[in-house]
Amino acid sequence: MQFLDSLITHILPLGYQLSIPIALAAIAATISERLGVINLGIEGQMLVGAFAAVVGSHLTGSPVIGILFGMIAGGVFGLLHVTVCVKLRSNQAVCGVAINLLALGLTDFLTTLIWGTKISALVTRLPNVTVPLLERIPIAGVFFRNQTVFFYLLPLIVAAAYIFFYKTRWGLRVMAIGHNPQAALSAGINVVKYRYVGLMIAGVLAGLGGAYLSVAFNNAFVSDMVAGRGFMGIASNIFGGWNPLGSFLASFLFAFAQSLRYYVAGAVVPTQITQMLPYAITLIVLIAVKKRSRAPEAMGVLE
Amino acid sequence: MGYAVQMKGITKSFPGVLANDGIDFAVEENEIHCLLGENGCGKSTLMNVLFGIHKQEAGEILIKDKKSTITNTKEAHDAGIGMVHQHFMLVNPMTALDNIMLGKEPIGLFLDRQVARREISAMIEKYGFQIDLDASVSELAVGIKQRMEIVKILYRGADIIIMDEPTAVLTPQEVQELFKILTGLKADGKTIIFITHKLEETMAISDRVTVLRGGKKVKTVVTAQSSEKELARYMVGYDVNFDLERPPVECGDILLEVRNVQLLPNARHSVSFEIRKGEILGIAGVDGNGQQELEEMIMGVRKAPKGGSIIVNGSDITGTTTKFRKAYGMGHIPSDRYKSAMVKDFSVRENYMLGFQDHADLNTYGFIKHKVLAAFSQAQIKKYNVVVSSDESSIGTLSGGNQQKVIISRELGHDPDVVIVAQPTRGLDIGAIEFVHSTLIDLRRQGKAVLLISVELTEIMTLSDRIAVLCGGEIMDSFENSRDVTREQLGLLMAGKAVGGSYGEE
């Protein structure tokens, strides 16, 4: 009973919070890969997003402007990726890795330049909100008490992405491009334009995920603070079947396993077992869930 | 009657090649006009210029008497031109409906499939296309996919339809269906440009023909006033001998025996046959029905499944390597010339070593005997009339016909008993085809056993002593080749319809 209680009041909300940046990265990956572009640079796009958000908040005192900074920085790095991959036709995987290294070096350098250390000064954090009335719901009220705006923003983004992919003609075109860009081209679709716009939106979402980490979940920038969440997002996207909803659920599963670790620790179970939990759960689910969705057939292929 | 398309003095060159040299090409409204020519004669370049994919250096294009400004596919669609490509432009995991409306979906914030479905269904009904709009493309037969491509461009409002080598992938029956469809479209007022290198088709379907050769226009003629022979002469520039003599040869002992080889995992019957000395066995069938598996299993490139055996000269060679088989007297002219028969960037001479690099003639303790190799390569080049400036230039710079000559002369240079020949004339021009055919007839005279795998029915019917038809990885039927064998008969078997007689057994 006590476990069930802490499950609802602590583990689930924390899991959800942890899933926000991963889910945003996952949707960014879904958009990229549905357009046939492998985007390993999401990690780096998140990192510059996190950094720019702190700079924005530091300069203006407004975390909201900081988040805008983060989104713009992510979008610019998305533009860099698409330009190098699509226009200059370099290898997409190599380009992604290069973007990550560039982001890591650049943010470290600029942090040291501005603050003289590898950690930024503390900045104003995005205030948490409490939804009146809903917070009074027994048990589930915890989801509406003292949470970040991202908490409510994420489902909206997931829903918007889902509707875009499955209910609009632009979504249909994006999927066609990922499966067979030649066919899309012959159907009169401007494939290059779609890739530019899509990869920039993916960058903006990744930047938003980074900004969440630095000015909503925390209130400072630390070197390499994204810590693999971008890659977890890419994995969630694949695991979720290149589908925004699946991406989100997969991200939540990863994050839930992480949050479970914090709370199960100290109970009767040895810590080694609890530390293993996230990975074990991931493995079991991966085995149990058969591949339902088809990967974009022309991933990494320009035409 | 007015002109649908007029191209005047079109010139387009690529580095080192003058692909189109002042070509005049005019298509009247509501006709079926064949654009006939060999590979590399400039057909595709001309069409790419029409589509705005390439920009001509000289000349002008009028579409329905208006100067064309097309620079991309969408503008071509807007001008009423649509093209059915040889390689279908379809998105496999999506449904037929989604594929057809892709790029021209009904306007609105949300996708309204019902609107598109109504319009497309009406169109399918009108022309009798029979397409299941809810099937995903990967489930559809090749003929249906082609019809989908036609619907796709009709849906975009095209009234000038370009078909790029549309029959390459079809069975004879499917070709007949396609011709019916094209005739129907013509009756509906559409103009059709039909790109091909096949003479029979040109005669069967077109109202007029324009023949291209070497980047120049040779002539435009009214089909009914011309003949296959005349068109062939325009196409290659000299009189072509169509009648190949196949002198009777005394068949000897069995040289190659294939026993119970399972070609495709889901085929119900395995395949068995034998070929005697001095015999050509032709394997007919639509591409992708186990031909490549058969070819590769016999040569040991692909492992034959358990239970089957391959016997050459009386010895079972089933588990042996390809290298062993080649040394044991098996020659192989692969279907995929570029992938499996040559290394494009290597010199012609180096390519003469490929597959025989471990031959004692060609190396000592791993060191190549360059002198012997050079002598061999130069002798073969001479004997087979390969057109090449030096045997040290890379094979990639040769024409398809000359590449094939190198491969044939390499394989035959080691005097094999059994020769596996797959799609030997794919992509070759008429002159090279003549050469390949006479070489095969010559092999037969020399008492080799030849397995000829080909999707070209004419080729199978002119060269083979016996014919077996492959469908779904099974031999539908096999029989002696004679004048009584018809294309229709073969076509039915190729489509998997048994017409009586023995089944899968020799």
pTM, rounded to two decimals? 0.79
Contact B279, B450 (CB under 8 A): yes
Q: What is the Cα–Cα distance from B42 to B175, expressed in whole angstroms?
A: 24
Chain A residues touching residue B74 (CB < 8 angstroms)? 188, 190
Chain B, 102 to 141: residues with Cβ < 8 Å from chain A are: 102-106, 108-111
- Give contacts of B93 with chain A, Cβ < 8 Å: 179, 294, 297
B85 touches chain A (CB under 8 A): yes
Dihedral angle over CA of B175, B177, B182, B186, nearest 10 = 140
Comparing CB atoms, the residue among B77, B91, B111 nearest residue A167 is B111
pLDDT of residue B502: 43
- Residue A170 vs residues A157, A182, A190: alpha-carbon distances, Å: 17, 17, 11
Helices B228-236, B430-445: axis angle to 10 degrees equals 100
Q: What's the complex ipTM?
A: 0.85
- Strands in B279-284's sheet, in edge-to-edge order, are B330-333, B418-422, B449-453, B279-284, B466-471, B474-480
Q: What is the pLDDT of residue A290?
A: 56
Question: What pLDDT band is residue A4 in, cutting at 50, 70 and 90?
Answer: confident
Report the candidate in B379, B422, B378, B390 with the shortest Cα–Cα distance to residue B404: B422
Read off the tokens for B308: 């089957």
Q: Check residue B129 and give its pLDDT.
A: 87
Whether residues B89 and A189 touch (CB distance < 8 A) is answered with no
Alpha carbon distance B44, A256 (integer Å): 57
Kindly give the residue spans of alpha helices, DSSP state H, lying in chain A: 2-6, 12-34, 42-60, 63-82, 92-115, 150-167, 169-179, 181-186, 191-211, 229-239, 244-264, 271-288
Chain B environment of A190 (Cβ under 8 Å): 74
Assign B394 to helix, strand or coil: strand
Interface A–B counts its CB contacts (< 8 A) at 67
Query: Could you report the per-residue pLDDT of B46-72, keeping only the tens digit for each?
Result: 998 998 888 899 999 999 999 988 888
Residue B460: enclosing H or E segment and its boundaries? helix B457-463
**Which residues numbered 138-167 in B keep a CB inside 8 Å of some CB on A?**
152, 156
Quick one: pLDDT at residue A286? 67
Judged against a pLDDT cut of 70, whether residue A172 lies above it is answered with: yes
Give the bridge partners for B13, in sequence order: B18
The CA distance from A261 to A29, in Å, is 26
| Burial track B51-86 (b if 16+ CB lie within 10 A, e otherwise) | bbebebeebebebbeeebebeebbebbebbbbbbbe
Chain A interface residues (partner B, CB cutoff 8 A): 163, 167-169, 171-173, 175-176, 179-180, 182-190, 294, 297
Confirm if B418 and B258 have CB atoms less than 8 A apart.
no
Q: Minimal Cα–Cα distance from B203 to chain A, Å?
A: 30
The enclosing H or E element of B408 equals helix B400-412
Q: What is the pLDDT of residue B242?
A: 65
Mean pLDDT is lowest, of A273-287, B206-220, B270-284, B434-448, for A273-287
Contact B102 A167 (CB under 8 A): no
> Which pLDDT belongs to residue B505?
39
pLDDT digits (tens, 9 = 90+) for B438-485: 999 999 999 999 999 998 888 999 999 999 999 999 999 999 998 888
Q: Residue B89 and residue A169: Cβ atoms within 8 Å? A: no
Calpha distance B293→B207 (Å, rounded)? 41
Q: What percentage of chain B reaches a pLDDT higher than 90?
A: 62
Testing the interface with A: which of B51, B91, B110 to mutate, by most A Cβ within 10 A?
Answer: B91
pLDDT at B219 over 60: yes
pLDDT for position B365: 87
Cα end-to-end span (Å), chain A: 57
Indicate the pLDDT class of residue B503, thresholds 50, 70 and 90. very low
pLDDT value for B307? 85
- Higher-pLDDT residue of A295 and B315 is B315
| The residue type at A71 | M
CB contact (8 A) between residue B111 and residue A180: no
Verify whether the Cβ–Cβ distance A183 to B102 is below 8 Å: yes
Q: Do A188 and B72 lie within an 8 Å CB cutoff? A: yes
Q: What's the token pair of residue B138?
A: 């990967």
A8-12, B56-60, B288-292: which range is least confident on average?
Answer: A8-12
Nearest to A188 among B99, B103, B108 (CB): B103
Interchain CB distance below 8 Å, B91 and A176: yes
Asked if A188 lies within 8 A of B91 by C-beta distance, the reply is no
Q: Token pair for residue B120?
A: 């497309």
Q: How far is A199 from chain B (nearest CA, A)?
A: 20
Nearest to A39 by CA among A73, A71, A86: A86
- pLDDT band of A215, cuts 50, 70, 90: very high
Please report, in angstroms and rounded to a whole number, the separation of the first and last CA atoms in chain B: 58
| Nearest in space to B195 (alpha carbons), one of B240, B161, B234 | B161
pLDDT tens profile B2-12: 899 999 999 99
Q: Average pLDDT of A164-176? A: 95
Instruction: State whether A185 and B105 contact (CB < 8 Å).
Output: no
Residue B499 is predicted with a pLDDT of 58
Cβ contact, residue pair A180, B109, below 8 Å: no
The answer to whether the Cβ–Cβ distance between A184 and B99 falls below 8 Å is no
Q: What pLDDT does residue A22 have?
A: 95
> Cβ separation of B93 and A173 shorter than 8 Å?
no
Q: How much is the pLDDT for A293? A: 59
pLDDT single digits (tens) B16-31:
788 899 999 999 999 9
Q: For position B137, what pLDDT does the model report?
A: 92
The pLDDT assigned to B501 comes to 45
In sequence order, the β-bridge partners of residue B62 are: B6, B67
Query: Which residues of chain B are within 8 Å of residue A189 when distances are taken between CB atoms?
Result: 102-103
Nearest CA to CA, how far is B68 from chain A (Å)?
17
Output the pLDDT for position A214: 96
What's residue B504's pLDDT?
A: 40
Closest residue, chain A, to B91 (C-alpha) = A180
Decide if pLDDT at B506 tops 50. Answer: no
Give the position of tokens 């003095």.
B9
